[in-house]
Chain A
Amino acid sequence: MSTTDADRFDKTVTTTCGYCGVGCRLEAHARQGRIVSISPADDGPANEGHTCLKGRFAHQFTRSRDRLTSPLIRENGDLRVASWDEALQKIVSELTRIKDTYGPDAIAGLASSRATNEDCYAMQRLIRAAIGTNNIDNCSRVCHSPTSFAMRRSFGLSGATGSFSDIDDADVAVLIGVNPTQGHPVVGARIKQAALRGCKLVTIDPRRIELADYGALHLAPRPGSNAAVVLGLSHVIRRDGLIDATFIAERTEGYAALEELLDVYTPQAVQEISGVPAAQLEQAAHLYGEAGTGCLLWGLGVTEHKYGSEVVQLLCNLAMMTGKVGKRGSALLPLRGQNNVQGSSDMGALPDTYTAYRRVDDEETAQLFEQAWGVSLSRRVGYKIPEMFDAAVAGDLKAMYVFGEDIAQTDPDTAHVQHALESLEFMVCQEIFENETTQYADVVLPASAFLEKCGTFVNAERRFQLVEASIDPPGGARTDFEIITTVSRMLGHEMGWTTPWDALDEVARLTPHYAGVSYERLGRTGLQWPVRADGSDSPTLYDQYFDRAGGKGAFAALPYKAPGDAPDREFPLVLVTGRVLQHYNSGTMTRRTGNADLVDRDWLEIHPDDADRLWICEGDTVSIRSRVGATELDARITDRIERGHVFTTFHFPETRTNLLIGQSADVNTSCPEYKVVAVDVRPIAEQPAFTPQLTGV
């Protein structure tokens, strides 16, 4: 029950949370233009009257004194306050100059997975129609692009096959490379309650995550050996006759090739590769194979690997072998990281696709958008985010328009990113705070947070949900939608929209999968795509057929391959990175709230045996060095992590965790291998203090 009362709040707006991909529906209560309190909406389908400390409490950042409230322009090396006219003129003249001198492909844009669908759709239209290039990407590149790629290959559509509520009806849930009680707290709470009611959990993670304590079985494979574990599970399921032969025969293709491959992945062989005891592997396979219904959940522990996309395909295999897809209680649920990482990709903020993953080199699609926008469009696939940095260093990319992403902190190999940003002739940042990236910007535009704008988000269960403003952007800040459409207009391409709902209508008109989406229809509980023209939506996908040519699901016979990095004599430990409950990614928002009182730094988690060996005590500052960089962290000793592994979060810019990460990336999607980095850890006294390099500060 919310304690809404006219005395305490003068405005209450129902909106969708801007933290994480769960998509909690929230009631934002404001008084005199400030958020006073946020409570969960009882009818929110994903949260059902619950939310976490980020959604409920972490709203003070909206009124932080650090908020950008007027445009800034770089002059003689420093940013100075400028008027909107001056800033926008500068952007238009510089982008026009660069386009005229080097061609449109010398310009790239990044859409924001924290922003609305309408903002992202406008951003990709700006880059495609007003600039004339497909150099547009979003940060799903560095998190779930492997999931999107793999699920399109195996099943046809890029999204979860069911809904979070499927967990309530599952007999077993397998969690691999995901820590929901920290990263997706409301789904984490749902899983924990399911486990307490009798749903058997199998957790697969190098760390003993909290849910492992509530589960039937915990497997701790070496980082980078997920493929072997999943192949091993498939081997046992096939060997012991736990397959759904009818499902395989009627609904799928390519099983024979997989069968042949599976022969070698005996539990014993998998134990050699992954370190998971053969007996545990057999037990896990039986738990999943024998259950009537079962959900598979995964996160960045699966995708952020050199062969991340292949492991997702192997997980799809596992579901198809046992017929655990396309029915109630049996869903594949990739837990998407940011609030709208599903939507920003759905909207076509990707270098190779328009809305709903239709390719830019498909003539029919390109013509559809050419007709709608009245311009000719490039058929050439654009740069992915890592390729943008390479192109900038090589001198092919001259300008970037970065909207709502702190690439200098969050992307791997920080030194390379810094070099790339320094190489650009012109960069625009559209942000709510100054951050590591704005230090390289020539123009900074003050934008708005999720509580200050209208539009829609798509959550991790493919649900379009309404976002409505409860407060105004501070000072001279403007909504992203207004900024992007204005820049486009000044560049000579009028988008013809007055509100975000006009953009949503255009998306629905041009995209059969979202045909029935409209402001009125979304209402309080949203709709899960595909949404047909009559407004009916799709809580469960693939109940009759898969969305591929021929209607069958595709098995993928992909062998285990070694990860891009491995420990050796010089770098004997493996670093894994992840999130903590209290903070959200680069921390720009949560660090400016009371959450920073609860957790005020990143820690390096290390096993007691390793700590003993290295003479490290709880709380000691240690140096941590990888093949590409080094930084310092305070040590926390815990046996939740396996021997030989260390773990850290990446929420505080002073830590610069990403200095340590190299260039290894997923073979299909270029998603960086954040999760396997060989490192050397020493007490700080043993090695001269290394201060992270802060060039350009």
Chain B
Amino acid sequence: MSITVTVDGSELEIAEGTTVLEAANLADAWVPTLCFDERQAPFGACRVCLVAIESTPKPLPACTTPCRDGMVIDTHDATARRVATAVVELVLSELPTAPEPHTELGRIADRLEVTGSRWPGATHELGQDFRHPYLAFQHELCISCGRCVRACDEVQGAFALTATGRGFQSNVAAGLDAGFEDSSCVSCGACADTCPTDAITEITLLDGVAAQRPPRPRERGRRKRRPLASE
């Protein structure tokens, strides 16, 4: 069974069960995502993939919303984009350094034109663990998107990673926080592969990056705000 939806003005025939995010991708419309990875079940936690859907009162997350016949989707909606941008800004407010440009968070911040945060305050303390031969923890960069935990569960099935702490303290840990080697980790690296911030990454890549690019001081201040296309 196929249904018809409209994405940013163009009609699209899609299979039933397709999510709004998948439909947007098929229509080549960009929807920012942070907690989404196509190898994992949609999670709907980050609220960065919000889009406007005709006849719904508020923007909806594209990744968890299934399409229905005749749905009209607007990926450029000003409210949705403003909320998404604010979410990214809040995420950045907790990090001690600006995200590296090669990371997914860095790319999204760049595309949403978020260069800093309006909210000063505490940032995560350095929490580095380089004991494993390949995998590095940089806990200070963790944004609690849960992608590594879900990769470990849903892709590899090692169940080695857990979300820990609450609120500002929330982070991720291997096993009972004793490091990868003392957990059920099988070193597959799916966590490093999906991490959008380098909170879990490959040690060899860190060395390479460190040699090339010293850590930059965090930029504080107001983000540039240019009118969005739909404004």
Contacts and interface: CB of A to CB of B under 8 A. Distances in A.
Interface string B68-95: 0000000000000000000000000000
Interface string A641-680: 0000000000000000000000000000000000000000
Given A53-B187, A57-B187, A189 B155 contact: yes
B193 A40 contact: yes
B164 interface: no
A52 B158 CA distance: 12
Interface string A569-596: 0000000000001100000000000110
Contact of A5 (B38, B102, B156, B187): B102
B134 interface: yes
B186 interface: yes
B102 A50 contact: no
Given A7-B212, A49-B39, A598-B181, A37 B102 contact: no
A51 B133 contact: no
Nearest to B212: A7
A581 B184 CA distance: 13
A76 interface: no
Contacts of B37: 1
Contacts of A598: 133, 181, 187
B188 A52 contact: yes
A48 interface: yes
Contacts of A196: 157
Nearest to B133: A594
A536 interface: no
A179 to B, nearest CB: 13
Residue with the greatest number of chain A CB neighbours at <10 A, chosen from B103, B187, B194, B198: B187
Interface string B137-178: 000000000000000001111000000000000000000000
B146 to A, nearest CB: 15
B42 interface: no
Nearest to B198: A3
A330 B186 CA distance: 29
A581 B204 contact: no
Interface residues of A, number: 33
Residue with the greatest number of chain B CB neighbours at <10 A, chosen from A1, A2, A51: A1
B186 A3 contact: no
B186 to A, nearest CB: 6
Interface string A35-51: 01101101000001111
A286 interface: no
Contacts, number: 82
A5 B202 contact: no
B222 to A, nearest CB: 27
Contacts of B154: 193
Contact of B188 (A31, A42, A56, A597): A56
Contact of A8 (B155, B181, B209): B209
Interface residues of B, number: 30
Nearest to B187: A53
B37 to A, nearest CB: 7
Given A36-B204, A598-B187, A57 B157 contact: no
A50 B205 contact: no
B104 A3 contact: yes
A39 B189 CA distance: 9
B115 to A, nearest CB: 19
Contacts of A5: 101-102
B208 interface: yes
Interface string B44-63: 00000000000000000000
Given A5-B101, A8-B102, A193-B157, A50 B190 contact: yes
A192 interface: yes
B149 to A, nearest CB: 15
Nearest to A188: B157
Given A1-B193, A50-B155, A594-B134, A37 B103 contact: no
A4 B101 CA distance: 11
Nearest to A60: B204
A515 B208 CA distance: 45
Contacts of A50: 39, 155-156, 188, 190
A657 B186 CA distance: 25
A196 B158 CA distance: 12
A343 interface: no
Interface string A399-436: 00000000000000000000000000000000000000
Contact of A7 (B102, B181, B188, B204): B102
Contacts of A597: 133
B163 to A, nearest CB: 19
Contacts of A36: 204-205, 208
A52 B198 CA distance: 19
Contacts of B198: 3
Contacts of B39: 42, 48-50
Given A3-B102, A3-B104, A193-B154, A57 B190 contact: no
Contacts of A193: 154-155, 157
B137 to A, nearest CB: 16
Interface in B188-231: 188-190, 193-194, 196, 198, 202, 204-205, 208-209, 212-213
B155 to A, nearest CB: 5
Nearest to A40: B193
Nearest to B36: A1
A594 B136 CA distance: 13
A629 interface: no
Contact of A185 (B134, B186, B194, B204): B186
B155 A39 contact: no
Interface in A1-40: 1-5, 7-8, 31, 36-37, 39-40
Contacts of A37: 202, 204-205
Nearest to A597: B133
Nearest to A593: B133
Contacts of B194: 1
Interface in B113-132: none
B40 to A, nearest CB: 10
B193 to A, nearest CB: 6
Residue with the greatest number of chain A CB neighbours at <10 A, chosen from B37, B101, B189: B189
Contacts of B134: 53, 56-57, 594
Contacts of B205: 8, 36-37
A57 B189 contact: yes
Nearest to A182: B186
A627 B202 CA distance: 47
A522 to B, nearest CB: 24
Nearest to A53: B187
B188 A185 contact: yes
Contacts of A582: 187
A48 B40 CA distance: 11
A192 B181 CA distance: 21
A8 B213 CA distance: 10
Which 9 pairs of residues, A with B, have the shortest CB-CB distance? A594-B133, A5-B102, A53-B187, A192-B157, A597-B133, A57-B134, A56-B189, A49-B39, A189-B156
17 contacts: A1-B194, A1-B196, A3-B102, A7-B101, A7-B102, A8-B212, A49-B39, A50-B188, A50-B190, A52-B188, A53-B187, A53-B188, A53-B189, A56-B193, A193-B155, A594-B133, A598-B187
Given A1-B193, A3-B103, 16 more contacts: A1-B104, A2-B193, A5-B101, A7-B101, A8-B102, A39-B193, A40-B193, A42-B38, A42-B39, A53-B134, A53-B188, A56-B188, A189-B155, A189-B156, A581-B186, A598-B181
